[in-house]
Amino acid sequence: MKESIKKKLKLKVSAISSGTVIDHIPSKNLFKVISILELDKTDNMITFGANLDSGKLGSKAIIKVSNQFFEDDDINRIALIAPHAKLNIIRDYEVVEKKVVEVPDAVVGIVKCFNPKCITNNERITTSFDVISKEPLDLKCKYCEKITHEDQMVIK
Ligand code: CTP
Ligand code: ZN
């Protein structure tokens, strides 16, 4: 194959001049990441790809948000659904910084409480947990105090 064609094929989603590239998102959680980061409400240009080949994950998704830079607290909200996500900060077309996500000390929304009797499963109340262990994950519900373990975790 011609070199010029190989180059065109390599980048599945165009490079951006300035902004944030969120790479290595599990494809099945792409739209959850978009919603958690409120990218469905931004006016900035967004491009994304899903079901892209990736050695580690099998299939990954990538989101590129132009002219937007996230606070660490906001980025860490995707840790439960995209634990291996890598952020690339782009300025003048260059990657100037790389960041990984970290599990935060508290989780609001995103996850369901494991306890079927919990008020959050019976009324329209946003879940809220303290993270009492990060590896493996253990979340303590602020309402019923029951613990949701990693293997029982259901994303809302
Ligand atoms: N990227 C981009 N626009 C730029 C520069 C980079 O969209 N102007 C994207 C690349 O397509 C890639 C990511 O940002 O998805 C990271 O870029 P880079 O560090 O150059 O790529 P890799 O070396 O493949 O990084 P890694 O192995 O950490 O994924
Ligand atoms: Zn609960």
| Pair (95, 31) in one structural domain | yes
- Which CATH number goes with the domain that contains 148? 2.30.30.20
Lowest average pLDDT, out of 42-46, 52-56, 67-71, 143-147, goes to: 52-56
Of 7, 17, 23, the one to substitute when testing ligand 1's pocket (max ligand atoms within 8 A of C-beta) is 23
Full-model pTM: 0.88
What residue numbers bound the domain in which 79 lies? 3-100
| Pair (72, 113) in one structural domain | no
Ligand 1 atom 4, closest CA:
15
- The count of structural domains within the chain is 2
| Pair (14, 57) in one structural domain | yes
Which runs of E-coded beta strand occur in the chain?
19-26, 46-54, 58-66, 86-91, 94-100, 106-108, 128-134, 137-141, 147-149
What pLDDT band is residue 1 in, cutting at 50, 70 and 90?
confident
Ligand 1 atom 21, closest CA:
95
- Which CATH number goes with the domain that contains 50? 3.30.70.140
Of 21, 63, 86, the one to substitute when testing ligand 1's pocket (max ligand atoms within 8 A of C-beta) is 21
| Pair (116, 53) in one structural domain | no
**What is the rounded CA–CA span in Å between residue 40 and residue 23?**
18
| Pair (72, 124) in one structural domain | no
